[in-house]
Amino acid sequence: MSDSYQNMDYHYVTTTPAERNRVLRNTYWLLALSMVPTVLGAWLGVVTGLSRAMSGGMGLVVFLVGAFGFMYAIEKTKDSAKGVPVLLAFTFFMGIMLSRMIAMVLGFKNGAELIMTAFGGTAGVFFLMASLSTVIKRDLSSMGKWLFVGAMVLMVGSIINVFVGSSAGMMAISMLAIGIFSAYMLYDLKQIIDGGETNYISATLSLYMDIMNVFQSLLALLGIMGGERD
């Protein structure tokens, strides 16, 4: 659970409202497109049994190496035609990583309902943050440092909890993650609107990770608190 790719400081450049709207529009389109390989990756992970291999320390190593490797590649290709395919490949990888949790939740009698609830809740958070980003006039760039620190604390806590396996710890981490990455959504959207982020591939990556963290945290909470055994 990490948002470490986030830039702590944005260097603002002069952009016109039309340019900002173009970046925001392209970001929304690419973000919507990125959900397709995510769903395909999650489905593939569940039906092939790959999700069972994504557990414990091995799953954590694969996730960290793969995620940071893809993020590095996206950063290097974001200004070229290769950027979009690399980003979509990353979202497919993230779908596979998500498949373990999806498979666990589907093991509950009400698993499909929990997944749809988490999806709806994440969509609600996103639309709320998107709405707030258009009405808040204050510069939110100073939030970045504090959110970065919070994300690092969450990542360390999540790694520890992988080996401890505490349900109470998972609940606490999930609740904090929902708060931190919901705030990150607002922060990242505001950077686009204010002209602090001018690359739609980087913007999509940031928002995608925010959404994924909120979704899997909501799903973990719902599974722990509302999962019904057969």
pLDDT in tens, 97-126: 999 889 989 988 888 999 999 999 999 999
Q: What is the mean pLDDT of residues 83-90?
A: 96
Q: What is the mean pLDDT of residues 171-178?
A: 91
Report pLDDT for 3: 46
Distance CA(26)–CA(28), nearest Å, equals 5
Closest CA to 8 of 156, 126, 149, 137: 149
Residues 6+ apart with CB under 8 A from 33: 88
Report pLDDT for 32: 96
Residue 40 one-letter amino acid: L
pTM attached to this predicted model:
0.87
